[in-house]
Amino acid sequence: MNSSAKPFRRRIASNLLWTPQGVLRQPLVTFYADGSFLVEQCPMPDRLAATEFYAGLLVADFPADCRPAFERMRAEGGDLAVLLPRMVVEGGVWVVISGLDYAALRLTPQSRIRPL
């Protein structure tokens, strides 16, 4: 084992990751015990041990009261690239939003949110 490698606490992969700079495809987010995290791209996360996969869009810093915030976002409708910058808050929680219209990056009636 490499003694300089930080032990990770959790590793999560998904279809997409929303960032203020744009959407990242095939993200792999590694969370460390000290609270830091690393974002990489990983086309085959199923080949990595101890990796959780969630279908959908990962979002960091979503409001901790994620369900009411999600319902407000659903009521507004529109493009997630426009809605999400208004929703995220520093120190929020990680969530995954599933059931999207991926081509238009919009919520659908089947969309759901899950805090991670």
Place of tokens 């990751």: 17
Tell me, yes or no, whether 60 lies in a domain.
Answer: yes
Tell me, yes or no, whether 2 lies in a domain.
Answer: no
Q: What is the CATH number of the domain that holds 96?
A: 2.30.40
Which of 47, 60, 44, 45 minimizes the C-alpha distance to 12? 45
Structural domain range at position 95: 8-115
The length of the chain in residues reads 116
Tell me, yes or no, whether 3 lies in a domain.
Answer: no
Tell me, yes or no, whether 69 lies in a domain.
Answer: yes
pLDDT band for position 5 (cuts 50, 70, 90): low
Tell me, yes or no, whether 36 lies in a domain.
Answer: yes
pLDDT of residue 45: 85
Tell me, yes or no, whether 1 lies in a domain.
Answer: no
**How far apart are alpha carbons 29 and 14 in whole angstroms?**
9
**What's the total number of domains in the chain?**
1
Q: What is the pTM of this model?
A: 0.89
- 44-92 confidence digits (pLDDT tens): 988 888 999 999 999 999 999 999 999 999 999 999 999 999 999 999 9
